[in-house]
C-alpha cells in the first residue's frame, strides 16, 4: 500500500534513512553514534523496519549490531558479514549475495557489485566479511534507489543503468577510499539516473571530493541533490521521474 512519498534523509557519510512510500523506515549503512557529521537527533535510532549494510568497514557497519539488537529489525548484508552479525548476537541477520533479490518488508532488495574491500575490524583482528556490495531497492510505488556503497568506478554500472533503470542513485565522491567526484560524474553518465545524491564526502579531511565540483561535472545529465547531514528530500514518480 502506498501512503506517502519517498523521503530520503542523509545522516552523513554513507548513512541514509528512508521513509518509504509504504511507510517503512529503512536505514542504510547505520554509522550514526560515532559519525562526526551525523546530527544528534539521529544518533540514537529507536525504530526501524529494515537495516541494510553494504560492507563491513566501521564507517558503514557502524552501529548495526546495537541497532539490530534493540529494534529487532531484519538486517541484510552479504553472507559472510551476516554470519559475523549473528555471532555478535544479532537474531535477524539476513544473508544474501550479489545478483540476488530479496523481498523483505514489502521492498525488493537487489544486491549488486561494488569494487572495494570488506574486512571487519573486530578488536585486534580483521575478519573476512565477504565482498563489498551495493543495493538497488525497488520501493512500493516502483521508484528505484541504487545505493552504490563504497566503490571505484566500474563498467557494470552501465549494465545496472540499462537493466534496472534506477531513478535515484547515491554515489560516493570522497576520493582516496572510493571514487572521487570526477569518476562519480562519469558513473552518472553510465547509470543515467534522474537524481543523484553525492555521499561519502566531508566526513574527514582525508575525503577531498567536492559536491560542488561533482554537480558542475554532471551538468544537466541528472539532477544533483546535494543534502547536508540531517536534510530530507522527497521523491515521487508523480514528479515525472520514472522512465
Where do contacts with Mn ion occur on this chain (CB under 5 A)? 59, 150
- Least CB distance to Ni ion at residue 28 (A): 14
147 binds Ni ion (CB under 5 A): no
Those residues whose C-beta lies under 8 Å from the C-beta of residue 136, and which sit 6 or more positions away, are 110, 112, 144, 145, 146, 160, 164, 166
Using CB under 5 A, which residues numbered 201 to 220 contact Ni ion? none
Using CB under 5 A, which residues numbered 95 to 124 contact Ni ion? none
Which among 191, 190, 174 has a CA at the least distance from the CA of 136? 191
Residue 181 touches which member of Mn ion, Ni ion, none, C-beta under 5-8 Å by kind:
none
150 binds Ni ion (CB under 5 A): yes
Choose between 56 and 193: whose C-beta lies nearer to Mn ion: 56
The binder of Ni ion chosen from 13, 24, 25, 57 (CB under 5 A) = 57
Q: Which stretch binds Ni ion (CB under 5 A): 68-76, 144-152, 164-172, 208-216?
A: 144-152
User: What is the per-residue DSSP string for 70-85?
Assistant: HH---EEEEHHHHHHH
Choose between 107 and 132: whose C-beta lies nearer to Mn ion: 132
Exposure string over 165-185, b if 16+ CB within 10 A, otherwise e: bbbbbbbbbbbebbbbbebbb
CB 31 within 8 A of CB 62: yes
Q: What is the DSSP letter of 158?
A: H
167 binds Ni ion (CB under 5 A): no
Query: Which residues bind to Ni ion, rule: CB under 5 A?
Result: 57, 150
Amino acid at each position: 500500500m502506498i501512503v506517502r512519498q519517498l523521503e530520503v534523509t542523509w545522516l552523513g557519510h554513507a548513512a541514509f534513512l528512508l521513509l518509504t512510500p509504504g511507510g517503512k523506515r529503512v536505514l542504510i549503512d547505520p554509522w550514526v553514534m560515532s559519525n562526526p557529521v551525523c546530527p544528534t537527533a539521529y544518533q540514537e535510532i529507536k525504530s526501524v523496519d529494515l537495516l541494510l549494510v553494504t560492507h563491513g568497514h566501521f564507517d558503514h557497519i557502524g552501529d548495526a549490531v546495537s541497532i539490530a539488537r534493540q529494534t529487532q529489525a531484519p538486517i541484510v548484508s552479504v553472507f559472510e558479514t551476516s554470519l559475523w552479525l549473528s555471532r555478535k548476537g544479532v537474531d535477524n541477520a539476513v544473508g544474501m549475495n550479489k545478483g540476488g533479490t530479496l523481498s523483505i518488508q514489502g521492498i525488493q532488495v537487489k544486491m549488486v557489485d561494488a569494487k572495494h574491500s570488506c574486512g571487519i575490524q573486530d578488536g585486534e583482528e580483521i575478519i573476512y566479511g565477504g565482498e563489498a556490495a551495493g543495493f538497488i531497492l525497488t520501493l512500493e510505488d516502483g521508484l528505484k534507489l541504487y545505493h552504490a556503497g563504497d566503490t571505484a568506478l566500474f563498467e557494470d554500472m552501465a549494465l545496472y543503468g540499462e537493466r534496472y533503470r534506477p531513478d535515484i542513485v547515491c554515489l560516493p565522491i570522497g576520493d582516496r577510499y572510493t571514487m572521487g567526484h570526477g569518476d562519480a560524474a562519469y558513473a552518472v553518465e553510465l547509470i543515467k539516473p534522474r537524481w543523484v545524491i553525492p555521499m561519502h564526502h566531508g566526513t574527514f579531511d582525508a575525503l577531498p571530493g567536492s559536491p560542488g565540483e561533482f554537480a558542475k561535472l554532471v551538468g544537466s545529465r541528472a539532477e544533483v541533490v546535494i543534502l547536508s547531514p540531517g536534510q530530507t528530500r522527497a521523491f515521487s514518480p508523480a514528479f515525472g521521474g520514472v522512465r
